[in-house]
Amino acid sequence: MTERDSLIDFVSAVSGDAYLKVEENLGDGYVRLKVSEAERRQAKHDIRSVEDIVIELLRNARDAHARRIFLANHREGEERVLTIIDDGVGVPASLHERIFEPRVTSKLESMVIDEWGVHGRGMALFSIRSNVASARIAASDHHKGASIHVVARISELGERADQSTWPTVERNEEGFLRVVRGPHNVVRRTVEFALEHPGLEVYLGSPTEIVATMFAIARDELDSSDLLFCDNLSRLPVWQRAAAASDAVELTDVTAELGVPVSERTAHRVLAGELHPLRHVMEQVSDEARPASDESSPDIYRDRRGLRIHHTDLAEFRRDLEQAFDTIAERYYLQLRCEPKVTVGRDEIRVRFEVDKED
């Protein structure tokens, strides 16, 4: 019997769908899967819970060189709805669908190995879409940041029962903040990510809270003329577009396009400044971890009038550190495993280099 005959016999014993999955029948019950089927199964394995989706979205924003990340998180019946908006490099309109295909990545020359494994295979967004009801780019363009909207069915994917409790955070012997206990929910995943990347501003809240926060920060930073004479919101970075809305109706339209819809009543409250913006995650957990006996010492995360390094300055500082490290790297055959980690404390700035020794 020829190999082709064997394959035909094998296919005849299974469903037509199985035929589409198999590249070769190896005999004795073994088959070689087609690449597409292997990728599909890998994608199913990569995402096992809503919390896995959150960490992949956060890593994706980080790798897009975002310095501000806004994560809107809420539940509607049996669905968990997540929208992550960042100020990273963005996605050209022509690639809004293609980036959900397997092996599509912007990281041609490198990949990231972090606390959660390998990132940069071009599988994260494909894995997410393979496991949820819907996943799409709500808004993005080149150098404009991005908004990714995901709807997951809890009955099919699952999540931790307690999604409201924040984890307990304490400082270790070296002075670094670490999660010590708490449910492994969306909040904890977000806090753990923020602690690993203290130079990023990560905001977590409901769609209303996220809209109010983006609106307040953008209005505070942008020149009023930038907003007053903006006749095309698509020219603005995604996260700043809500701040350019002229009235409540326009604000509801803009937020709907961004994947964080709010009611017209809520839009009026945002425009009137009645809703206070969120503090970013590092600010919140730093307050909780602050020693009670240290009330006299100013906390840069608590007191905005004190020292607070802007995210753009931190980014420039990291670039300078990487360049300075090159001299040592050449002499001692070292490679940076990831970008230098900069931690801003109450009375110190810590820098940590994670390195690999070249063979």
Residues 273-315: tens digit of each pLDDT: 999 899 999 999 987 665 544 444 444 444 444 456 766 677 7
Report residue 272 as tokens: 């009137």
Are 251 and 341 contained in the same domain? no
Q: Are residues 218 and 348 in the same domain?
A: no
Beta-carbon contacts of 286 under 8 Å, excluding residues fewer than 6 positions away, are 177, 299, 301, 302
Token pair listed for 82: 């997540």
- Model pLDDT, residue 298: 44
Last residue of a domain, one of 246, 271, 296: 271
* Span 141-173, pLDDT tens digits: 989 999 999 999 999 999 999 999 999 999 888
Residue 185 CA to residue 165 CA, distance in Å, equals 8
CA atoms within 13 A on the CB side of 302: 15
Q: Which of 7-16, 39-48, 191-200 has the highest mean pLDDT?
A: 191-200
Domain identity same for 76 and 195? yes
Q: How far apart are CA 9 and CA 24, in angstroms?
A: 12
User: Would you say 345 and 289 are in contact if contact means Cβ atoms under 8 Å apart?
Assistant: no
How many folded domains does the chain comprise?
A: 3
- pLDDT for residue 254: 96
Residue 304 — left, alpha, or beta (φ > 0 → left; ψ -120 to 50 → alpha)? Answer: alpha
| Residue ranges with strand state E in 176-226 | 177-181, 201-205
What is the pLDDT averaged over residues 317-325?
81
> How high is the pLDDT of residue 295?
44
- Whether residue 126 sits in one domain with residue 11: no
Residue 83's nearest CA partner among 143, 141, 156, 137 is 137
Q: Structural domain of residue 7, as residue ranges? A: 3-33
**Higher local confidence (pLDDT), 33 or 221:** 221
Residues 262 and 338 placed together within one structural domain of the fold: no
Q: Are residues 94 and 234 in the same domain?
A: yes
Q: Verify that 97 and 24 share a domain, yes or no.
A: no
Q: What is the CATH number of the domain that holds 146?
A: 3.30.565
User: Could you say which of 243, 271, 299 is where a domain stops?
Assistant: 271
Q: What is the mean pLDDT of the chain?
A: 81
pLDDT, residue 267, reads: 96
**Residue 320 in domain:** yes
- β-pair partners for 152: 80
For residues 166 and 264, membership in a common domain is answered with yes
Q: What is the DSSP string of 68-102?
A: EEEEEEEEETTEEEEEEEE-SS---GGGTTGGGST
With bands split at pLDDT 50, 70 and 90, how would you rate the model's confidence at 76?
Answer: very high
Verify that 333 and 267 share a domain, yes or no.
no
Most confident of 39-48, 188-197, 226-235, 344-353: 188-197
Query: Taking CA 219 as the corner, what is the angle to CA 267 and CA 234, rounded to the nearest 5 degrees?
Result: 75
Give the DSSP per-residue string, 242-290.
Answer: GGG--SHHHHHHHHHHHT----HHHHHHHHTT-SPPPPPHHHHHHHHHS
How far separated are the first and last CA of the chain, in Å rounded?
Answer: 50
Q: Does 82 fall in a domain?
A: yes
**pLDDT band with cut points at 50, 70 and 90 for residue 317:** confident
Both 173 and 100 in one domain: the answer is yes
**pLDDT greater than 90 at residue 140:** yes
Q: Which residue's structure tokens are 């994706």?
A: 60
